[in-house]
Structure 1
Amino acid sequence: MSSTGPDFGPPPPRRGRRRALTAALAALVPAALLGRLVFDAAGGGGGSGSGGAAARPSPSGARPSEPPAGSPAGDGAKPSPTPSAAAGGPLRGRVVVVDPGHNPGNFRRTSEIGRQVDIGTNRKECDTTGTATNAGYAEAEFTLDVARRMRALLEEQGATVTFTQDGDRPWGPCVDERARIGNRARADAAVSLHADGAGAGQRGFHVILPGAVDEGDADTGPIVGPSRRLGERVAGSFARVTGSAPSDYAGGGSGLVTRKDLGGLNLSTVPKVFVECGNMRDSKDAALFTSGAWRQKAAQGISEGIVSFLRG
């Protein structure tokens, strides 16, 4: 903060020195502008606590506007760094696919998301609307908010982050397409974000790992091992950063569950896990989901697990 103003300025120069002063100012202005550009490129233009900052554009075009600060989905959101700020990070050259579960518009397109798609072991509906807290905070809004926070954190480490959807489409994509997005990106790691809809009184998070499947278009054999390592890293860091306990209703207290009925895992050819961040139907877990500070911790915990996995 500057304290200078009209009452603190230097005395006016004498006429004989005007030409020298003009030349000096002409040299200083480009330097000042250059300094400002460097400051902005390094992310200095936005404070770490700015909740409603506009997201910078991705390589494929402008990102959708994020909710303003103060709303459940936008409280405490942070903008992504520019590519120049992350160019030398430890994850430079690594690709992470983040899959925000469901889509806020799915409930308007029930016929589209209800159609059957092939998931390798059988056919299953394209997608669902997801769950919500008793107060109406939707899983799809939660996952999108945490995903955007993760993008900022991972890009700070130099990773290239690809979303399966960013609130930029009216519904979907279907579960098989979500898997193919990660495959096409040749992701080094892929994480699908979710929140559970179990009974009230059941609490905690769990990470879902792909089981061994070799049917139809599904062959998870090559990714079962690395996906387990990814899941173990994510579960450990999520518990440490958020303070949340592993699920008391799934995984036997380990925080890890293996499944063979999820198309997003069955059809993946890259290491991938699902993270169920807690139970939206439990009042205590729901209070966490609607806290911007906790969602930031969730994003940090998952991101740190990904970083740990990628760095070996």
Structure 2
Amino acid sequence: MSYTDPDLVPPRPGRPEHPGRPGRPRRRPAVAGVALVCGALLGWLAYETTAASDPASGPGAAHTAGATAPAASSASAPAGGDGKGAAAAGSLKGKVVVIDPGHNPGNVRHTAEIARQVDIGTHRKECDTTGTATDAGYAEARFTLDVAHRLRTLLERQGVTVKLTHDDGSPAWGPCVDERARIGNAAHADAAVSIHADGSAPGNRGFHVILPAAVHSGAADTRPIAAASKKLGTAIVGDFARVTGEPASNYLGGGTGLVTREDLGGLNLSTVPKVFIECGNMRDGRDAARLTSGDWRQQAAQGLSEGIVSFLRGQATPR
């Protein structure tokens, strides 16, 4: 199925030389040159006067003061905008986040392997699925891996150690849902997030975050992580909605953006705070337009990053 790469953005048209003033003649280059020279002389005289009156000002100090400081990037700014930017990155050093990109692009070539049953505590379930896709053929597995890469970059800028459950075709399929949970457990993650996109009916749109129920069955016991997982999910809901502009689901969660489930192995078998996020509905035209946009996927990663960072800093509070 043909698919147009949504990341290709047409160049912006050039800015008119004199917007709103057609017919105004251009100034001659010579006049502009004289103005520049005069401005430079006035600036040099002002600098000499200031340097003479300030003993701390010298050539080196003037160079530092005159340098243009880079604008603070929202990608590295912590949730809540404390203004510290990159300076705050060290505060999250030592924190570990496991990102679980839902499904795997290779699953479609290994349908027999992913169909085998695994124990998720409450019952047995398929190892994994192929995931959904937009009507135009953009696969959920491609979406989740792309957002995971963007999210990893943002979190690493904050000093976080990030681990992915799979990446760039390794492994070739899966991992199974029980193994995805074990990867987060083995990493002793401070937070784990599984990224997905839904395949509901057209007209159903919006995102929702899935929390683990307090499950105690077989190999599953989420009681120790249920409260912390809710804090993580609540933090993500607020920041994801604010950054992306995506509404909370209109078909699940009663408008809260939060859903609790006990049938997901990736949650049931987790021993660390973990949530799933369905970033939107791939079968809805409006949501699909966002999910297939590279710019919007960057916003999705940013919203996730800010929610996770807020949780890691202990700023989130349960509803």
Query: Do they fold alike, i.e. is TM over 0.5?
Result: yes
The AA in structure 2 aligned to 1:238 is F
Q: Which amino acid aligns with 1:131?
A: T
Provide the residue aligned with 1:279 in structure 2. 281
Task: Identify the residue that residue 304 of structure 1 maps to in structure 2.
Answer: 306
Q: Given the alignment, which residue of 208, 215, 218 partners 1:216?
A: 218
Aligned to 2:141: 140
Is the CA contact (8 Å cut-off) linking 1:89 and 1:156 kept in structure 2?
A: no
Q: How does 1:98-113 map to 2 (within 5 A)?
A: 98-113=99-114
Q: Deviations over 1:183-217 (max 9, x none)?
A: 00000000000000000111000000000110111
User: Match of 2:112, as an amino acid?
Assistant: S
Aligned to 1:270: 272
Question: Match for 2:251 among 239, 249, 252?
Answer: 249
Q: Which runs of 4+ in 1 moved over 2 A?
A: 85-90
Residue pair 1:238, 1:301 contacting (<8 A) in 2 also: yes
The answer to whether the Cα contact below 8 Å between 1:86 and 1:158 also exists between their aligned partners in 2 is no
Q: Where do 1:29-68 residues align within 5 Å? A: none
Q: Secondary structure at the match of 1:209?
A: strand
1:170 CA displacement: 1.1
Picking from 196, 212, 224, the partner of 1:194 is 196
1:240 and 2:242 are equivalent in the alignment: yes
Letter of the 1:298 counterpart: A
What are the within-5 Å matches in structure 2 for residues 1-150 of structure 1? 89-150=90-151
Task: Look up the SS of the partner of 1:221 in the other structure.
Answer: coil
Per the TM alignment, residue 91 of structure 1 is displaced from its structure 2 partner at its CA by 1.1
SS at the partner of 2:166?
coil
Return the offset for 1:86: 9.8
**Partner residue, 1:163:** 164
Determine the C-alpha separation between the residues in 2 that align with 1:235 and 1:253. Answer: 11
CA distance in 1, matches of 2:89, 2:269: 33
Cα deviation digits, residues 34-71 of structure 1 (max 9, x gap): xxxxxxxxxx9xxx9xxxxxxxxxxxxxxxxxxxxxxx
Kept after mapping to 1: 8 A contact 2:197/2:278: yes
1:162 is aligned with what amino acid?
K
The 1-side partners of 2:145 and 2:275 are apart by 17
Displacement of 1:90:
2.2
Give per-residue Cα distances to partners, 1:114-167, cap 9 Å, x unaligned: 000000000000000000000000000000000000000000000000000012
SS of alignment partner, residue 249 of structure 1: coil
The answer on whether the counterparts of 1:230 and 1:271 sit within 8 Å (CA) in structure 2 is yes
Q: In structure 2, what is the Cα distance between the partners aligned to 1:301 and 1:268?
A: 23
Q: Compute the displacement of 1:169 (Å).
A: 1.9
Gaps of 5+ in 1: 1-43, 49-84
- For 1:224 and 1:210, locate their aligned partners in 2 and report how far apart those are by CA, in whole Å: 6
What fraction of aligned residue pairs are identical, expressed as a percent?
73
Task: Measure the CA separation in 1 of the matches of 2:241 and 2:218.
Answer: 36
Aligned partner of 1:13 in structure 2 is none
TM-score by length of 2: 0.71
Q: How many residues align?
A: 230
AA in 1 matched with 2:242: R
User: Could you tell me how far apart the structure 2 residues matched to 1:252 and 1:204 are?
Assistant: 12
Provide the C-alpha distance between the structure 1 equivalents of 2:107 and 2:87, rounded to a whole number of angstroms: 34
Q: Do the aligned partners of 1:202 and 1:248 also contact (CA within 8 Å) in 2?
A: yes
Distance 1:241 1:87, change over 3 A: closer
Instruction: Provide closer, same or farther for how the CA distance between residues 124 and 251 of structure 1 changes in structure 2, counting only shifts above 3 A.
Output: same
Match of 2:13 in 1: none
Give the C-alpha shift of residue 172 in structure 1: 0.3
* Distance in 2, Cα, partners of 1:231 & 1:120: 22
State which structure, 1 or 2, has the greater radius of gyration over its C-alpha atoms. 2
Q: Give per-residue Cα distances to partners, 1:214-252, cap 9 Å, x unaligned.
A: 011100000000000000000100000001110000001
Pairwise CA RMSD of aligned residues?
A: 1.5
**SS of residue in 2 equivalent to 1:305:** helix
Residues 89 and 159 of structure 2 are in contact (CA less than 8 Å); yes or no, is this contact kept in structure 1? yes
SS of the aligned residue for 2:178 comes to: helix
Query: Matched residues in 2 for 1:88 and 1:124: separation?
Result: 40
AA partner of residue 239 (structure 2): S
Question: What is the TM-score normalised by the length of structure 1?
Answer: 0.72
Following the alignment from structure 1 to structure 2, what is the Cα–Cα distance between the partners of residues 86 and 231?
A: 26
Give the Cα–Cα distance (whole angstroms) in 1 for the partners of residues 195 and 121 of structure 2: 21
Alpha-carbon offset, residue 88 of structure 1: 5.5
